[in-house]
């Protein structure tokens, strides 16, 4: 609903209001009416096709218990004589002690951030009360009993097979530094794919796009970088199209790669890489809108801004249309979603493998302008909220049965051993007024708040997929 835009007009009317009393009375009553209408539009939102009125702030009641604020009280142990050399070099500030503990491989708190194998989530074992529970940060096993390898991933819901497919970086190899100044890396192995009906039990479908072992000039040569693969389905060509960040060891290639398959489980046929619209492109994502138009969004100009533009109808290339958004804000790891006609996005800051503060953004039109609302994280403690729960956004999954409810998917990177990076999945809801809006119209916030709730242990509501 575009009611909100209409309120910009009275601002100019107010300029005349002082000159003549009768005009001013008319104008003010008009403003009053509009304010009432505005309030109404905040509370009631017209449902796009059906024309059904529903509460704007009201997402599914089944999700409500997940919106309880859960605090974390972690005692930081007194400093010890010995820290790992890497942690010692950084000279932590007092306020970032918990972050420093997180980055310190030999921290006494290591088990909090990277719980060991004993606590692994194993869907094949009778988990009793913990069945279907997500434990952000714990090792998560697939149906073969191996840790899931789908980092920087995204999920495709395949309507034809009523199955979720989770694609991500398969990083089950040694972490090393290509040279002294190089970031920690794992050679390309490929894109892992896992399938599930319940979003908890994941079957390994294998590597659906594999590294190139021999040809050093190939984009997928193992010495290169393949990050953040995302797959969408094209209704017209009936193809599954994968987009990914393609780079060289030193991140100078800064390109996107495209691959295509007839089946969600591959094998994907790698087509090419390019710099979209002629610009450097690092962290990226793909978003498919309700009308079937898909968009590429990527960090560009050395990660200082994001670019967004529609793909061609077959999803195999970008078009010439591109908009610069969040210019100068230095954001990466974009994760887009849509709710009641408004576009939302979660991004992270740019601090390499170290966690930082997430921000939520919103836009009426996907091409912008985009506005920054603030930090969506709720619960945990201050450091949890300032580090996106020690993780970085990668995807936001809509839950088809639960309107306004989403799963926020993030990566808790372990730069010392990247294959052991963990997944942080948390409930995300849209509703209520944003608490740090940049723009107000007559005192009314323009955007709904995006909230990501911390939970040590949580699960989706019972039989959530059947609730429509
Ligand atoms: C499951 O939860 C119930 C009720 O909260 C509790 O009584 C029971 O001991 C729990 N069972 C296990 C295996 O944890
Ligand atoms: C990456 O950078 C390092 C150091 O600047 C250099 O020695 C190396 O040759 C570069 N590698 C590639 C593949 O460009």
Name beta bridge partners: 448. Answer: 433
pLDDT tens digits, one per residue of 36-64 = 555 554 444 433 333 333 334 456 777 88
Closest residue by Cα to atom 12, ligand 1, is 129
Any idea which fold 64-74+121-466 has?
Answer: Tachylectin-2; Chain A (2.115.10)
- In terms of average pLDDT, the best of 44-58, 142-156, 450-464 is 142-156
Q: Could you tell me what percent of the chain has a pLDDT over 90?
A: 71
Q: pLDDT at residue 195 above 90?
A: yes
327 pLDDT band, cuts 50/70/90, is very high
Return the best residue to mutate from 181, 249, 251 for the ligand 2 pocket (most ligand atoms within 8 A of CB). 249
pLDDT-wise least confident of 103-107, 173-177, 344-348: 103-107
User: Sign of torsion, CA 140 142 147 151?
Assistant: negative
For ligand 1, whether the C-beta of 217 sits within 6 Å is no
**What confidence tens digit (pLDDT) does each residue in 395-441 have?**
999 998 788 899 999 999 999 999 999 999 999 999 876 665 555 55
Task: Name which residue sits closest to atom 6 of ligand 1, judged by CA.
Answer: 129
For residue 131, the CA-to-ligand 1 centroid distance in Å is 12
Ligand 2: centre distance to CA 350 (Å): 22
3 state DSSP class of 95: helix
Domain ranges of the chain: 3-54, 64-74+121-466
- Quickly state the pLDDT bin for 446 (edges 50, 70, 90): confident
The average pLDDT across 311-334 equals 98
82 phi and psi angles, rounded to 5 deg: -110, 130
Residue pLDDT, tens place only, 257-302: 999 999 999 999 999 999 999 999 999 999 999 999 999 999 999 9
Q: Which of 22-26, 176-180, 247-251, 268-272 has the lowest mean pLDDT?
A: 22-26
Q: Does residue 337 have a pLDDT over 90? A: yes
Is residue 128 in contact with ligand 1, taking CB distance under 6 Å? yes
Whole-angstrom distance, CA of residue 319 vs CA of residue 439: 31
User: How many Cβ atoms sit within 10 Å of the Cβ of residue 121?
Assistant: 21
pLDDT of residue 175: 97
Q: What is the 3-state secondary structure (H, E, C) of the chain?
A: CCHHHHCCHHHHHCCCCCCCHHHHHHHHHHHHHHHHHHHHHHHEEECCCCCCEEECCCCCHHHHHHHCCCECCCCCCCCCCCCCHHHHHCCCCHHHHHHHHHHCCCCCCHHHHCCCHHHCECCCCCCHHHCCEECCCCCEECCCCCECCCEEEEEEEECCCCEEEEEEEECCCCCEECCCCCCEECCCCEEEEEEECCCCCCEEEEEEEECECCCCCCCCECCCEEEEEEEEEECCCCEEEEEEEEECCCCCCCEEEEEEECCCCCCCEEEEEECHHHCCCCCEEEEECCCCCEEEEEEECCCCEEEEEEECCCCCCECCCCEEECCCCCCEEEEEEEECCEEEEEEECCCCCCCCCCEEEEECCCCCCCEEEECCEECECHHHHHCCCCCEEEEEEECCCCCCEEEEEEEECCCCCHHHCEEEEEEEEEEEECCCCCCEECCEECCEEEEEECCCCEECCCCHHHCC
Distance 28 CA to ligand 1 centre (A): 61
The residue contributing the CA closest to ligand 1 atom 13 is 128
Coil, strand or helix at 305? strand
Determine whether the shortest distance from the Cβ of 129 to ligand 1 is under 6 A: yes
Does 50 sit in the ligand 1 pocket, CB within 6 Å?
A: no
| pTM recorded for the entire structure | 0.84
Please tell me the number of Cα atoms within 13 Å of 51 on its side-chain side. Answer: 0
Residue nearest to atom 10 of ligand 1 (CA): 129
Burial class (CB in 10 A: 0-12, 13-18, 19+), 89: exposed
Query: In sequence order, what are the residues at sequence separation of 6 or more whose Cβ sits closer than 8 angstroms to the Cβ of residue 125?
Result: none
**Tokens read off for 427:** 């409930």
Q: What count of Cα atoms within 13 Å lies in the side-chain half-sphere of residue 359?
A: 18
Residue 179, pLDDT above cutoff 50: yes
Identify which of 438, 444, 323, 403 has the alpha carbon closest to the alpha carbon of residue 10.
444
């Amino acid at each position: 609903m575009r009611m909100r835009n209409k309120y910009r007009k009275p601002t100019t009317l107010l300029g005349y209001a002082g000159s003549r009393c009768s005009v001013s009375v008319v104008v003010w009553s008009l403003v009053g009416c509009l304010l009432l209408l505005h309030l109404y539009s905040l509370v009631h939102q017209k449902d796009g096709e059906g024309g059904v009125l529903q509460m704007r702030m009201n997402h599914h009641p089944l999700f409500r218990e997940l919106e309880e604020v859960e605090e974390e009280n972690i005692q930081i142990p007194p400093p010890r004589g010995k820290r790992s050399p890497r942690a010692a070099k950084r000279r932590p500030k007092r306020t970032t002690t918990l972050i420093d503990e997180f980055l310190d491989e030999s921290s006494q708190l290591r088990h909090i951030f990277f719980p060991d194998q004993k606590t692994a989530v194993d869907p094949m074992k009778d988990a009793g009360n913990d069945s279907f529970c997500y434990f952000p940060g714990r090792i998560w096993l697939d149906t073969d009993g191996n840790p899931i390898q789908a980092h920087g991933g995204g999920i495709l819901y395949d309507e034809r097979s009523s199955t979720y497919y989770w694609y991500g970086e398969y990083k089950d190899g040694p972490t090393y530094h290509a040279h002294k100044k190089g970031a920690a890396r794992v050679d390309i192995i490929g894109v892992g794919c896992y399938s599930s009906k319940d979003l908890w039990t994941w079957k390994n479908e294998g590597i659906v796009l594999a590294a190139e072992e021999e040809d050093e000039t190939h984009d997928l040569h193992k010495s290169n970088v393949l990050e953040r693969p995302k797959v969408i389905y094209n209704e017209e060509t009936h193809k599954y199209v994968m987009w990914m960040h393609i780079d060289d060891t030193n991140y100078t290639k800064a390109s996107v790669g495209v691959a295509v398959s007839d089946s969600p489980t591959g094998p994907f046929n790698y087509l090419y890489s390019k710099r979209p619209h002629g610009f450097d492109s690092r962290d990226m994502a793909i978003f498919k809108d309700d009308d079937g138009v898909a968009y590429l969004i990527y960090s560009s100009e050395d990660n200082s801004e994001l670019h967004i533009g529609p793909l061609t109808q077959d999803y195999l290339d970008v078009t010439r249309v591109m908009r610069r958004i969040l210019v100068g804000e230095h954001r990466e790891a974009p994760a887009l979603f849509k709710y009641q006609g408004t576009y939302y996005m979660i991004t992270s800051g740019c601090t390499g493998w170290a966690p930082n503060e997430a921000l939520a953004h919103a836009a009426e039109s996907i091409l912008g302008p985009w506005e920054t609302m603030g930090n969506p994280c709720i619960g945990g403690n201050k450091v949890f909220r300032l580090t996106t729960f020690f993780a970085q956004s990668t995807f936001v999954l809509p839950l088809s049965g639960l309107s306004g409810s989403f799963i926020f998917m993030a990566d808790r990177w372990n730069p010392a051993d990247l294959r052991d990076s963990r997944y942080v999945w948390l409930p995300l809801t849209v509703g209520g007024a944003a608490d740090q809006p940049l723009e107000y119209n007559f005192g009314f916030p323009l955007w709904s708040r995006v909230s990501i709730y911390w939970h040590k242990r949580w699960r989706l509501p019972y039989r959530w997929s059947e609730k429509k």
